[in-house]
Chains A and B, each alone.
Chain A
Amino acid sequence: MGRYIIRRLLQFIPTALGTMLLLHYITSLAIQFSGNPVRALFGDRQPPPAMIDAITKRLGYDDPCLDQKGSLCIKLFGERLQSVFLHFDFGINLRMRPVTDLVAEAIPFTLKIVLVAIIFEAVVGIAAGVIAGLRGGSFSDYLVKISTVFLISVPIFVLGIVVREYVGVKFGNTLRGQDWIPDVISSGVFASGFKLEYPFASLIIPGLVLGATSLATTARLTRTSIMENIRADYVRTAKAKGLANKRVIGVHTLRNSLIPVITYLGVDLGALMGGAVVTETIFNVPGIGRLVTQAARTGEAPVVIGVVTMLALVFLVTNLIVDLLYAVLDPRIRYE
């Protein structure tokens, strides 16, 4: 197992470097083709050229290779790697704020949404999957099957708009008209978007929307896995021994069936971090997704490279942990 971990960690190095190089090249191309991003700071105004030059130099966009179209800018990439790995310095945005600060500001919101989403999909998804799987072919089974297919095929932005307008605006407005309902509920939980005054309450509904698609996946995965295991020999043995139904299902079936589900939830955690951008846009949450989208629009290369690389690393690490967890949960799997 130790050797497996070391090998996986060594594989991180080329992957992370490749991801950074790819992002570096894309952002460099953007600058090479559409010009100095510093000019965006001034809008329509025409600042003196000396001022532009000074700011460009200070922000580090003065490298000559950023003028050569198509150049890979290897030297700049080397400098970037050095400051990232030796000084933990991810660079600054156009307003001289360090990327690490920007991420530190944005990440609590994204984490909160993702947390709500994961809890939601784990609790409701597993419950629905267990109910459907234990009674295959029954009404509840079909209900879960059909509703999950629908949930998967509704794009998340459609779901987000519908929920925002009906729950946040329409239902929320009727709640806000009533005096006996506390403000946390009426203008926090059922707000039409993110509210700074209710940093957690107003993120609950966006979290539920974010978790909806994965909820359907979790439910289907649980259902398939339970249906497979309930026919397994050891479950029949447990039944034949005369164990109580509760124990047969709770201990023998459920524990084994949940292994793939838990690994899916782990992988999803990494995927949701970067996938929250739509939900964040619809509900106006100042999270990671919005940070990257804005940075990409204004051409702030260090922000894009820094944040997306961090997300990629989070994704890789969660995947590694999930793989290791798999071996712990399922003794049949051995990593040599």
Chain B
Amino acid sequence: MSDLTSAAAAVGGEAAAPTPTGPAPAGKKEASASLWADARRQLVRDPVFVVAAIYILLVTSMALFPWLWTRTDPRACDVKFHRTPPNAEHIFGTNILGCDYYAFNVYGARPSLAIAILATTGIVVIGGLSGLLAGYFGGWVDAIISRIMDIFFSLPFLLGAIVFLVVVKDQTIFTLAFVLVLLAWPTIARIMRSSVISSKNLDYVHAAKAVGATNGRLMFRHILPNAIAPMLVYATITLGSFVSAEATLTFLGVGLQAPAQSWGIAIAQHQVYFLEDPWLLLFPCGLLVGTVLSFILMGDALRDALDPKLR
């Protein structure tokens, strides 16, 4: 679990011990609305968050509409001009096959972001739901879900991913995302479980139960909105971890394969030319690190904004 847990614990180490988000017995809806409204106001004023969000928007636009950024086809290559340094025609230079490196990097944004977003959605749905069920029902439901969580949690993250991906053999965006979900959902389930446990015995939940609310209504209308904040913070940071995990797995040779364009492939292909032509590593590494950094900073800012204790 090297990348994921460390990144999550790194940012304050509070992801595992969620902060209760403003238990407001009376007028729950207003209180929660004002929590989010306050958070939004604080985030817009936070320069770090704004810069990180703009960077992410730029990278997302690269992923969605690469033709806005470049008119060059990343596969229109001429081996005669391989590894030319950055110049007026090729502002990032060309790679070992003589392809335009700027276009290659722009098109490389899509697989990284697609995998990160798919996998994060997956862990939020699966992990969030199982954490909610385990925390709400307790007892044997909790025991079973917790043991299943333990099984996946005890697998070392990278080694587990390598074993799964080697077996899958067909390494596409979807299989990579699937493997990441499989290995990462227990963390988010744990976060969700503990925040559900801490908020399920609050007065407003008892009140709703006394009025006769069903289990489903209690879980999704009353407990979930008050327990979701720590999960969202972790999910934002995880987006960054997954971008980096994709590149790492690709670098190790079990991720996306060469004809595809991705930052991980660019780094893996050119690592041996590092000393002669450092720009070949500089551009993909810069984009990659910038993306991971932005997601982490956004998660950090989000946590500060959602934590009423810090105000």
Task: Answer whether A155 and B247 are a contact pair too, CB < 8 Å, given A18-B151, A217-B6, A293-B252.
Answer: yes
Who on chain A is nearest to B290 by CB?
A153
On whether the beta carbons of B158 and A278 are closer than 8 Å, the reply is yes
Complex interface: chain A residues within 8 A of B138 (CB): none
B159, CB-defined interface residue at 8 Å: yes
Q: Within the complex, what minimum Cβ distance (angstroms) separates A36 from chain B?
A: 15
Complex interface: chain B residues within 8 A of A15 (CB): 147, 150-151, 154
A29, CB-defined interface residue at 8 Å: yes
Task: Answer whether A271 and B240 are a contact pair too, CB < 8 Å, given A157-B247, A161-B271.
Answer: no
A198, CB-defined interface residue at 8 Å: no
The answer for the CA separation of A221 and B12 in the assembled complex, in Å, is 6
On whether the beta carbons of A217 and B289 are closer than 8 Å, the reply is no
Complex interface: chain B residues within 8 A of A277 (CB): 158-159, 162, 252
A148, CB-defined interface residue at 8 Å: yes
For chain B, residues 5 to 58, give those with C-beta under 8 angstroms from any C-beta of chain A. 5-7, 9-14
B142, CB-defined interface residue at 8 Å: no
Complex interface: chain B residues within 8 A of A275 (CB): 1-3, 156-158
B129, CB-defined interface residue at 8 Å: no
Complex interface: chain B residues within 8 A of A313 (CB): 154
Complex interface: chain A residues within 8 A of B274 (CB): 161-162, 165
Main secondary structure of the interface of A (DSSP, over half): helix
Contact of A169 among B12, B151, B275 (CB under 8 A): B275
Q: Within the complex, what minimum Cβ distance (angstroms) separates A311 from chain B?
A: 5
Stretch at the interface among A20-28, A80-88, A89-97, A249-257: A20-28
Main secondary structure of the interface of B (DSSP, over half): helix
Task: Answer whether A271 and B156 are a contact pair too, CB < 8 Å, given A161-B267, A214-B6, A217-B10.
Answer: yes
On whether the beta carbons of B240 and A26 are closer than 8 Å, the reply is no
The answer for the CA separation of A230 and B159 in the assembled complex, in Å, is 40
B95, CB-defined interface residue at 8 Å: no
On whether the beta carbons of A152 and B247 are closer than 8 Å, the reply is no
Complex interface: chain A residues within 8 A of B59 (CB): none
On whether the beta carbons of A271 and B159 are closer than 8 Å, the reply is no
Task: Answer whether A264 and B13 are a contact pair too, CB < 8 Å, given A11-B150, A275-B2.
Answer: yes
Q: Within the complex, what minimum Cβ distance (angstroms) separates A312 from chain B?
A: 4
A316, CB-defined interface residue at 8 Å: yes
The answer for the CA separation of A109 and B267 in the assembled complex, in Å, is 27
The answer for the CA separation of A14 and B285 in the assembled complex, in Å, is 42
B236, CB-defined interface residue at 8 Å: no
On whether the beta carbons of A161 and B10 are closer than 8 Å, the reply is no
Complex interface: chain A residues within 8 A of B163 (CB): 23, 26-27, 292, 296, 304, 308
Mark B283-305 against chain A: 1 for CB-CB distance below 8 A, else 0: 00100110011001100100000
A284, CB-defined interface residue at 8 Å: no
Q: Within the complex, what minimum Cβ distance (angstroms) separates A110 from chain B?
A: 11
On whether the beta carbons of A150 and B293 are closer than 8 Å, the reply is yes
B86, CB-defined interface residue at 8 Å: no
The answer for the CA separation of A68 and B244 in the assembled complex, in Å, is 37
On whether the beta carbons of A312 and B154 are closer than 8 Å, the reply is yes
Complex interface: chain A residues within 8 A of B151 (CB): 15, 18-19, 22
On whether the beta carbons of A271 and B2 are closer than 8 Å, the reply is yes
Task: Answer whether A221 and B9 are a contact pair too, CB < 8 Å, given A23-B163, A157-B251, A275-B157.
Answer: yes
User: How many A residues are at the interface, by size bracket?
Assistant: 35 or more
Q: Compute the total of residue contacts between A and B using a CB distance below 8 Å.
A: 166
B155, CB-defined interface residue at 8 Å: yes
The answer for the CA separation of A29 and B169 in the assembled complex, in Å, is 12
Q: Which of B10, B148, B151, B164 has the most CB of A within 10 A?
A: B10
The answer for the CA separation of A156 and B163 in the assembled complex, in Å, is 20
Complex interface: chain A residues within 8 A of B159 (CB): 274, 277, 289, 292-293, 308, 311
Complex interface: chain B residues within 8 A of A289 (CB): 158-159
B76, CB-defined interface residue at 8 Å: no
Complex interface: chain A residues within 8 A of B157 (CB): 271, 274-275
B62, CB-defined interface residue at 8 Å: no
A224, CB-defined interface residue at 8 Å: yes
Q: Within the complex, what minimum Cβ distance (angstroms) separates A157 from chain B?
A: 5
B281, CB-defined interface residue at 8 Å: yes
For chain B, residues 165 to 179, give those with C-beta under 8 angstroms from any C-beta of chain A. 166-167, 169
A281, CB-defined interface residue at 8 Å: yes
Mark A310-321 against chain B: 1 for CB-CB distance below 8 A, else 0: 011101100000
Mark B248-268 against chain A: 1 for CB-CB distance below 8 A, else 0: 100110000000000000010
B98, CB-defined interface residue at 8 Å: no
B122, CB-defined interface residue at 8 Å: no
A181, CB-defined interface residue at 8 Å: no
For chain A, residues 117 to 151, give those with C-beta under 8 angstroms from any C-beta of chain B. 148-150
The answer for the CA separation of A276 and B166 in the assembled complex, in Å, is 18
Complex interface: chain A residues within 8 A of B281 (CB): 158, 161-162
Q: Within the complex, what minimum Cβ distance (angstroms) separates A113 from chain B?
A: 13
Complex interface: chain A residues within 8 A of B9 (CB): 217, 221, 264
On whether the beta carbons of A152 and B10 are closer than 8 Å, the reply is yes
Who on chain A is nearest to B285 by CB?
A158
The answer for the CA separation of A14 and B160 in the assembled complex, in Å, is 19
A154, CB-defined interface residue at 8 Å: yes
19 CB contacts below 8 A, A to B, read A14-B150, A18-B148, A19-B155, A22-B155, A27-B167, A155-B3, A155-B292, A156-B3, A158-B247, A161-B267, A213-B6, A213-B7, A214-B6, A260-B13, A271-B6, A271-B157, A289-B158, A292-B162, A308-B155
Q: A interface vs B, CB < 8 Å?
A: 11, 14-15, 18-19, 22-23, 26-27, 29-30, 34, 148-150, 152-158, 161-162, 165, 169-170, 213-214, 216-217, 220-221, 224, 260, 264, 267-268, 271-275, 277-278, 281, 289, 292-293, 296-297, 304, 308, 311-313, 315-316
Q: B interface vs A, CB < 8 Å?
A: 1-3, 5-7, 9-14, 147-148, 150-152, 154-160, 162-164, 166-167, 169, 240, 244, 247-248, 251-252, 267, 271, 274-275, 281, 285, 288-289, 292-293, 296-297, 300
